[in-house]
């Protein structure tokens, strides 16, 4: 089942763990991240992005990729609408026989890869079963430029204190009360910690924690938790707070996300 808003369509695949998103919007996305690998195609228009691999521009007919945890944004060229399609892959789809890779190119022009992506979407549109979808996905992944080694989530050289702070923000439903509390184990001032954390992980601590709450909410909703309970369990103040975060960083509502997975 799928549910469309005025700008976005999100639906679950016959293949468990695969989510498809279609968008036609001039929306400017703030810096955010996803827990899943994403790969897609720009169908019309274009955008610029501050990706985790540097600033990029993507135009019609080009493939775009995003790695788990990669901080990025999206700005339409000249404020015009752009249309794109994405698939997001849960970690389990990589299977036990191979490590989840890192996409090596945030934008690339590859007509053959676009054809394989279109074949995957077409299989879904025709109501293909899980096996048919998985076959098309494997062909797509086989030809997408990536490393063969699991992605290191933390850059080398990041201090143990920053790693500890990141783990605390990831584990806690509510962030610590102050920067001083996070900065203290590393012997840093609040400003030093704020600057170091942002440089290491791409977002300030509060914004990084918000992305973790959003990921927890997606997981809770996928498991069938009601909207209000998912919001509370994920660390949002209430259901409205969660809905605003979904709209800002995903473009669709939690209700649309739930309906797409039924």
- 179-203: burial string, b at 16+ Cβ within 10 Å, e else: beebbeebebeeeebbebbeebbbb
Confidence at residue 84, expressed as pLDDT on a 0 to 100 scale:
96
Average pLDDT over residues 77-97: 89
pLDDT band at 182, cuts 50/70/90?
confident
The edge-to-edge listing of strands for the beta sheet with 18-25 is 2-4, 8-12, 18-25, 82-89, 37-44, 63-66, 107-108
User: Rounded to whole angstroms, how far apart are CA atoms 177 and 117?
Assistant: 45
Confidence at residue 6, expressed as pLDDT on a 0 to 100 scale:
65
Q: Residues 200, 167: one domain?
A: yes
Confidence at residue 174, expressed as pLDDT on a 0 to 100 scale:
63
**In angstroms, what CA-CA distances link 256 with 35, 64, 67, 221, 252?**
19, 24, 24, 11, 6
User: Rounded to whole angstroms, how far apart are CA atoms 71 and 36?
Assistant: 12
pLDDT band at 42, cuts 50/70/90?
very high
Phi, psi of 106 (to 5 degrees): -70, -25
Average pLDDT over residues 229-258: 91
Q: Among 39-43, 71-75, 102-106, 168-172, name the one with the lowest average pLDDT.
A: 168-172
Q: Is 80 exceeded by the pLDDT of residue 5?
A: no
In a domain, 36, yes or no: yes
How does the average pLDDT of the chain come out, rounded? 87
Confidence at residue 155, expressed as pLDDT on a 0 to 100 scale:
46
Q: Which residue has the higher pLDDT, 246 or 3?
A: 246
Closest CA to 246 of 261, 259, 231: 231
Confidence at residue 149, expressed as pLDDT on a 0 to 100 scale:
44
Token readout for 111 is 């007509």
Q: Residues 165, 113: one domain?
A: no
Confidence at residue 242, expressed as pLDDT on a 0 to 100 scale:
94
Q: Residues 75, 18: one domain?
A: yes
- The predicted-structure confidence for 184-232, as pLDDT tens digits, reads as follows 888 988 888 888 999 999 898 888 988 999 999 999 998 899 999 999 9
Confidence at residue 191, expressed as pLDDT on a 0 to 100 scale:
85
Q: Residues 136, 45: one domain?
A: yes
pLDDT band at 96, cuts 50/70/90?
low
User: Rounded to whole angstroms, how far apart are CA atoms 30 and 12?
Assistant: 24
Confidence at residue 151, expressed as pLDDT on a 0 to 100 scale:
44
Contact in structure between 20 and 124 (CB atoms under 8 Å):
yes
Fill in the DSSP letter of residue 156.
T
Number of structural domains, the chain?
Answer: 2
Q: Residues 173, 244: one domain?
A: yes
Residues 6+ apart with CB under 8 A from 73: 28, 29, 30, 31, 32, 49, 50
CA atoms within 13 A on the CB side of 235: 20
In a domain, 262, yes or no: no
The CATH number of the domain holding residue 178 is 1.10.10.60
What three-state secondary structure class fits 59? strand
User: Rounded to whole angstroms, how far apart are CA atoms 149 and 137?
Assistant: 19
Confidence at residue 261, expressed as pLDDT on a 0 to 100 scale:
74
Q: Residues 34, 135: one domain?
A: yes
Contact in structure between 153 and 33 (CB atoms under 8 Å):
no
How many Å is the maximal CA-CA distance in the chain? 58
Q: Residues 30, 108: one domain?
A: yes
Q: Residues 227, 114: one domain?
A: no
Q: Is 60 exceeded by the pLDDT of residue 120?
A: yes
- The predicted-structure confidence for 51-86, as pLDDT tens digits, reads as follows 888 899 999 999 999 999 999 999 999 999 999 999
- Give the ranges where 103-151 is alpha helix by DSSP (H): 111-125, 130-143
The residue from 84, 112, 143 where one domain ends is 143
The residue from 143, 174, 205 where one domain ends is 143
Quote the domain boundaries for residue 192. Answer: 160-249
Token readout for 59 is 């135009």
């Amino acid at each position: 089942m799928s549910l469309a808003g005025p700008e976005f369509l999100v639906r679950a695949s016959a293949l468990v763990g695969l989510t498809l998103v279609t968008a036609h919007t001039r929306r400017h996305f703030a810096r955010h991240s996803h827990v899943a690998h994403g790969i897609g195609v720009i169908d019309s228009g274009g955008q610029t992005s501050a990706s985790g691999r540097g600033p990029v521009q993507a135009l019609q007919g080009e493939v775009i990729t995003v790695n788990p945890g990669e901080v990025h944004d999206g700005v339409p060229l000249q404020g015009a609408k752009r249309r794109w399609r994405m698939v997001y892959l849960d970690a389990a789809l990589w299977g036990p026989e191979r490590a989840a890779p890192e996409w090596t190119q945030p934008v690339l022009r590859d007509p053959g890869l676009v054809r394989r992506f279109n074949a995957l979407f077409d299989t879904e549109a025709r109501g293909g079963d899980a096996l048919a979808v998985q076959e098309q996905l494997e062909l797509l992944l086989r030809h997408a430029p990536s490393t063969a080694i699991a992605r290191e989530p933390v850059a080398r050289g990041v201090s143990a204190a920053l790693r500890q702070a990141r783990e605390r923000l990831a584990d806690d439903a509510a962030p610590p009360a102050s920067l001083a509390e996070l900065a203290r184990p590393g012997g840093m001032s609040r400003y030093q910690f704020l600057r170091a954390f942002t440089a290491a992980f791409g977002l300030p601590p509060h914004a990084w924690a918000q992305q973790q709450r959003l990921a927890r909410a997606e997981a809770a909703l996928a498991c069938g938790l009601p909207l209000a309970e998912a919001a509370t369990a994920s660390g949002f103040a209430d259901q409205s707070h969660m809905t605003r975060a979904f709209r800002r960083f995903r473009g669709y509502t939690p209700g649309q996300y739930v309906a797409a997975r039924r």
